[in-house]
Structures are given as C-alpha cells and as structure tokens.
Amino acid sequence: MASPLVLVDRRGPVAVVTLNRPEKHNAMSLALKDALVRAVRDLDADPAVRVLVITGAGDRAFVAGADIAEFRGRTLVEQQRMYREGTVYDAMDRVAKPVIARIDGYCFGGGLELAMACDLRVASERSTFSQAEINLGIIPGGGGSQRLPRLVGLGTALKLTLTGERIGADEALRIGLVDEVVAHPLLDRRVGEIAGKIASKSAVAVRLAKAAVKASARLPIEQGLRYEQTLFTLAITSEDKEEGVRAFLEKRDPRWTDK
C-alpha cells in the first residue's frame, strides 16, 4: 500500500501535519492537496486540538511547490473549476486555530504560498525560499501575489516574484518572510515551545486574537478598529476572562474552560 500523502501526529493539544512525499520534495499533487485540506478541516473541528503545525517529510524540503507535472495540459475549464471548488490555500486561510509552518529545506512556489497561508513561519537556518513560478512561465496562483507583499512590502515582493530568485533563511528573516530562524537541531524544540505556549492559553482568546489580527490584512483601519471592538466585547464577556482575572488576583495559574 502506498504511504499516506499526509500524516497526522497528535502531541497532546498540538497536531503535527506532515506532507509526506519526500521522494518529490513534498511537491503538492492534487491528491496531496485534497488530503491536506481534509486533515486540516478535521483538526480544526476537533476540540482536543489547539494548535496545528504544518511540515514536510524528510530532511530536504518543506514543500518544493505544487506538482509541476500536473500543470501539463491544464485547460481553462479545469483551472476555473479548481478555483470554484476552493484551493488548499483558501482552506488554510479558513482555519480558526493557529497554524505554524515548520520549515526545514526547500520552500518554493506553492510551498512558499502554503507557508504564507499559515500564521507563523519558523525555519531552520538551512531552509531556502523562492517564489519560483516565473521560471515556469506562470505566476503565483495560491495567494502569493497578495500575501508576499503584505509580509515583505511591495518592492521586495516584486523582486522575488519577478526574478524567482532563491534566498536563504537569514535573508527571509531579515525581510519578514519568516518569523524565526533556528539551527536545524533546535527546530522541533522551538516549534514545540511556541505551539505549547499558544496551546496553554484560553482557546476562546486565541481564536479571537487570531481573527482580529488577520482582519488587519483585509480591512481598512477604521473597519478593522470596529471589528477589534466587536471581538474584544466577546472576549471581555467570556467565562475565561472571569477565570483569567480571578487567577491573576489569586496569584495562581488560570484553569481555562474555553468558554
């Protein structure tokens, strides 16, 4: 039997989702994308899971892009149907729980777009990044033209998108494409620390905080500020707020009920 294209490993409240096609540097075939969408949807709906980590199998690649072989012969009708049915990047964007991209190795094209559709990007120092589509005579189609400039600014996004140039982890950190870079042997520990810290908070507050901050990328500031007030009103009236305040005043750790 072929090994599953996507593996899910639950480590307490943290679910690690591994794209498992190492012989192709985890290039995302349509079947792999479907499996990833299903896994992520299930985990988002599972109350036992508080944080998702997305990573790639093997020690060479996070994801070396969408499966280039499947681009051959793609018709107008097929591409329009794919977008109508929704993409893996749309599915990632809809996840309410925090998602951390654990990047170790090649993070190219659709792989970079997948990482950018996550909330945080933590990379090993040996990782490399490229918005590589231009080299194939296409353009980013998984959100890259919109998410890259929001992360790194217009000029740098244009440079990366138009040249397809490869950059290293330190450069990716400098321009804001990734949030942290650590030595390879420390990657799992650091991702675990961040995931564990988030998982220890109230799930209600985490969900609202993520929604509020993400809204800043799509709303004008006035609407964004009103939206924050709406979400803050939900947070300040939650049971976990009562518990958080009580725990602070009683000088003890809070016991969240996620309500």
3 state SS of 250? coil
Q: Given the complex with ligand COA, which of 61 and 194 has the nearer CB atom?
A: 61
Residue 56 within binding range of ligand COA, rule CB under 6 A: no
Walk across the sheet containing 99-103 and list its strands. 6-11, 14-19, 51-56, 99-103, 120-124, 180-182
Spell out the residues 6+ positions from residue 204 whose beta carbon is closer than 8 angstroms to its own.
Answer: 234, 235, 238, 240, 256, 258, 259
Active site residue 171: no
Give the Cα-Cα-Cα angle 67, 71, 75 (nearest 5 degrees).
Answer: 145
Q: What is the spatial distance between Cα 163 and Cα 76, in angstroms, rounded to a whole number?
A: 26
Q: Given the complex with ligand COA, which of 136 and 186 has the nearer CB atom?
A: 136
Residue 113 within binding range of ligand COA, rule CB under 6 A: no
256 touches 203 (CB < 8 A): yes
Residue from 5, 32, 132, 204 in contact with ligand COA (CB under 6 A): 132
Active site residue 222: no
- Tell me 242's DSSP state: H
Stretch that binds ligand COA, among 38-46, 74-82, 129-137, 238-246 (CB under 6 A): 129-137
Q: What residues between 11 and 50 interact with ligand COA by CB under 6 A? A: 24-25, 27
Stretch that binds ligand COA, among 51-59, 119-127, 132-140, 231-239 (CB under 6 A): 132-140
Residue 66 within binding range of ligand COA, rule CB under 6 A: yes
Minimum distance of ligand COA from residue 61's CB (angstroms) = 6
Q: Pairing mode, if any, of strands 106-108 and 61-63?
A: parallel
The site for ligand COA (CB under 6 A) is made up of: 24-25, 27, 64-69, 106, 108-110, 132-133, 135-136
Catalytic residue ranges: 113, 133
